[in-house]
Amino acid sequence: MRARWSRVAAVLLLGGLLAGCQVAVAGTAGVSSADQETANRRAEQRAAVDAALAELGQAPALALKSTTQGAEQQFRVTRGGTAFGGLPLDGRVVQVTAVGGQFYLQADADYWKAHAIDEGTQFGTNWVRSLGSELPFDPGARFAPAALADGLRKALTGLSQTGMPARAKLPDGTEVYRLGAAPSVLNVTTAKPYRVVSFAPALLDPQAGPKFGAEFRVDPLAGDALKAFHTDLDATVGGMGQPFEGLVQASAVVTDDKLDCKDFVGSCTTTVDVSNSVVGSPSSGQKSVVHINLSVEVSADSLGAQTCTAAGDAEPYATIKLSCTVKFKLPNRTASYQVLSKPNATAEVRAALDANAVKQKVAEEFATLGG
């Protein structure tokens, strides 16, 4: 009897312990309805942002629009990084063309002077071949669809995102999720199809990004818009001529000159040999030519002075021959005159751009994009 009582007591005691555990745990699980609502809204925002960035990264090309001093600028870039258009930069606008693996920049003389380029006046508003690193960061590389989506995705991981998602309405009535805080803001639509509406360049680079302004509005390009991009890019490449080389400087020296004046005619021809030397290397090892400008002042006693010019292209470190002619008006009498010729030569390094070859590469790329 005693042994049987012990077994029953042990079973009852264990049951009592289990019951006690259940009572202690009861009521401690679950979250408040407000917290659950926040979690649900954040999940919706996360899904919208993920879908918008995925769509952005798969676009064949993008148009990034901005406003500088009241004027709208448009910078267009393909999936492969071919790009063309205006970019805000430190309050002014520069034109960029990234094509065929080369980077070309067009700015005013003040821009070049501000960047300590001696040829600022010479460059003027002409195209200059340089490197993407001439700008705060390479826009063709960083703004290409996939690269831009990756950059924004990485930026979001560093943003503090707590509480209910922030929403805003744009002037056109579009409702967006507003992620981040000025100057690092990303706007994504709250309704399908989810898309990136705008972003701050500061998101891609907190130091260099703000130099490109406060915001870019984003439009994917396809169909007719993509074809228009191709057409505009072709026209720009065809109109570049011989862009300046931004990374190479040249000097020219007149090594020999000869003056030949025709009796009773009044014409005097100066023929010179001009040699050149260069400092620096073209971007990406591309070919360049040295453009020589010759100016000759020819003067004669009692006949005054006249100036003629000539120009030609030479290989780096080569010597070329140039000539130009002036003509004096001779008086109606027999006389002899002492004539003096003063030649002066300057050199510019130009990119050897084969526009037709570049256009062919562009056509091949756009064919794969549908434009």
Residues 270 and 183 grouped into a single domain: no
pLDDT at 121 (0 to 100): 61
In the listed set 221, 238, 255, which residue is the last one of a domain according to the structure?
Answer: 238
Both 303 and 249 in one domain: the answer is yes
27, containing H or E segment: none
176 and 299 assigned to the same domain: no
Domain containing 191 equals 55-238
**Does 230 share its domain with 259?**
no
pLDDT at 12: 35
Query: Is 10 among the domain residues?
Result: no
Distance CA 223, CA 371 (A): 7
Instruction: Give pLDDT, residue 82.
Output: 97
CATH number of the domain encompassing residue 322: 2.60.40
Residue 106 lies in a domain: yes
> Is 280 inside any structural domain?
yes
Pair (228, 266) in one structural domain = no
127 & 153 share domain? yes
Distances, alpha carbon 13 to alpha carbons 2, 4, 349, in Å: 17, 15, 98
User: Do 312 and 234 share a structural domain?
Assistant: no
The answer to whether residues 210 and 257 belong to one domain is: no
Kind plus residue range of the DSSP H or E element containing 83: strand 83-89
* Residue 49 domain flag: no
d(CA 99, CA 137): 16
Whether residue 98 sits in one domain with residue 122: yes
Both 185 and 309 in one domain: the answer is no
Q: Are residues 288 and 226 in the same domain?
A: no
Res 335: pLDDT: 82
- pLDDT tens, N- to C-terminus, the chain (371 residues): 344 333 444 343 334 333 444 444 444 456 799 889 988 999 999 999 999 999 999 999 999 999 888 889 999 999 999 999 999 998 889 999 999 999 999 998 888 887 766 555 678 778 999 988 889 999 999 999 999 999 999 999 877 677 899 999 999 999 999 999 889 999 999 999 999 999 999 999 999 999 999 999 999 999 999 999 999 999 999 999 989 998 888 999 999 999 999 988 899 999 999 999 999 888 767 789 999 999 999 999 889 999 999 999 999 999 999 999 999 998 888 888 899 999 999 999 999 899 999 999 999 999 999 98
Q: 0.85 cut: is pTM over it?
A: no
In the chain, how many domains are there?
Answer: 2
N-to-C CA span, the chain: 97
The DSSP line for 151-188 is HHHHHHHTS---SSPPEEE-TTS-EEEEEEETTEEEEE
Question: Do 193 and 65 share a structural domain?
Answer: yes
| 170 domain-assigned | yes
* In a domain? residue 38: no
The whole-angstrom separation of Cα 168 and Cα 220 is 22
Residue 187's pLDDT is what?
97
**Residue at which a domain ends, from 206, 238, 270:** 238
166, 177 in Cβ contact below 8 A?
yes
The tokens 């890019």 sit on which residue? 233
Q: Is residue 200 part of a domain?
A: yes
Determine, yes or no, domain membership for 35. no
